[in-house]
Amino acid sequence: MAARKPKVIVTRKLPDSVEVRMRELFDTELNETDEPMSRKALIDAVGRCDVLASTITDRIDAGLIAKAGEKLKLIANFGAGVDHIDVPVANAAGIIVTNTPGVLTEDTADLTMTLMMATLRRVVEGANMVQAGEFTGWAPTAMLGRRITGKRLGIIGMGRIGTAVARRAKAFGLQIHYHNRKPVSPRVSEELEATYWDSLDQMLARMDIISVHSPHTPATFHLLSGRRLKLLQPHAIVINTARGGIIDEPALADLLASGAIAGVGLDVFELEPRINPKLLKLPNAVLLPHMGSATVEARVDMGEKVIINIKTWMDGHKPPDRVLPQML
């Protein structure tokens, strides 16, 4: 790598401290407006930068990668998920892709528990009632929700975040069940007193709460299909802080509206930022604006990982958070 500073184009606004540091280290071009880049702007960016510091709002597909100039050698993604990047095509073109794993775990797990409790206890419904001036006083049967302690939690995807959720959930007195490509280590299984289900269908039919933590890949698209959602018991709730496309959102909305399931807590949506209109009308749908990792600490940590990946590459070494096609 030449001694010159690499040209880095950042596609969205990042925390001030991160942007200041990037400007010190690199020839950095920032997105001052924080508006998602248009396709035309992305084509222009990949045609003239050494590093694209991308985010989830950028669709970096084969067509865009084909427009990349000879300079582009690194896509340093600000975020753990890379389903918006065609990693195999980038890899074949000699472009390294990195992400920011690990730093989102605790915050996303916290929000998962928040959604779980808010959905079971009808917190948003209650808050809306008070704000609308409809609270007329306590009553024995008013705003009845469900107790969290003792419930069976079925976790789909027992990676970093799924395991962090399980640890929190166990402290709340939930029974931990999970479906994963393979069982967790005996040590973790014993710590969490977790039950492994090889069959997702069988687990779904027996749980009180389902929490989704799988990566979004072609194999997990609509993993919770309409057929599988119908396996849930009427009192069950579904929580999703992973990716919207893992759940068949129209089927989920239909089942919720019909009373076939009791509630949902969603931080992500299949056609984000668009949301199924049925979900928006249902009082038992707790809907958040993709804020699972939205803490000051997480965003700064993510930015620091992006910087480390770029700096390591710039110094001629392998970035620590490289994403390879076989990892997907």
Dihedral sign of CA atoms 258, 264, 270, 274 in order: positive
Is residue 153 located within the same domain as residue 163? yes
- The per-residue pLDDT for range 104-119, each reduced to its tens digit, is 999 999 999 999 999 9
Q: Which of 216, 243, 249, 270 is catalytic?
A: 243
Q: Is the pLDDT assigned to residue 328 strictly greater than 70?
A: no
Mean pLDDT, the chain, rounded, equals 96
The number of domains in the chain is 2
Catalytic choice (29, 106, 191, 272)? 272
Same domain, 37 and 122: no
Residue 216: what pLDDT?
Answer: 85
Q: Is 69 among the domain residues?
A: yes
User: Are residue 77 and residue 176 in the same domain, yes or no?
Assistant: no
The confidence score (pLDDT) of residue 97 equals 98
Q: For residue 255, tell me if it sits in a domain.
A: yes
Residues 152 and 172 in one domain: yes
Do 165 and 63 have their domain in common? no
pLDDT, tens only, 161-188? 999 999 999 999 999 999 999 999 999 9
90 falls within a domain: yes
Range in 2-6, 73-77, 220-224 the model is least confident about: 2-6
Catalytic annotation on 290?
yes
Do 301 and 311 lie in one domain? The reply is yes
pLDDT the model gives residue 304:
97
131-168 pLDDT tens trace? 999 999 999 999 999 999 999 999 999 999 999 999 99
User: Within this chain, do residues 243 and 118 fall inside the same structural domain, yes or no?
Assistant: yes
Domain that includes residue 121, residue range = 105-287
Residue 70 within a domain: yes
- Does position 215 have pLDDT exceeding 60, yes or no? yes
Q: pLDDT tens, 39-94?
A: 999 999 999 999 999 999 999 999 999 999 999 999 999 999 899 999 999 999 99
| Judgement on whether residues 127 and 230 belong to the same structural domain of the protein | yes
Catalytic residue among 206, 290, 304, 322: 290
Residues 48 and 93 in one domain: yes
The whole-model pTM stands at 0.89
Query: What's the CATH code of the domain at 143?
Result: 3.40.50.720
Q: What pLDDT score was predicted for residue 287?
A: 98
In a domain, 315, yes or no: yes
Q: Are residues 113 and 261 in the same domain?
A: yes
Residue 22 lies in a domain: yes
Same domain? 116 vs 247: yes
Report the pLDDT value the prediction gives residue 1, as an integer from 0 to 100.
Answer: 44
Q: Note whether residue 2 is domain-resident.
A: no
The yes-or-no verdict on residue 327 having pLDDT over 80 is no
Q: Do 131 and 269 reside in the same domain of the chain?
A: yes
What are the pLDDT digits (tens) for 8-37?
999 999 999 999 999 999 999 999 999 999
52 within a domain of the structure (yes/no): yes
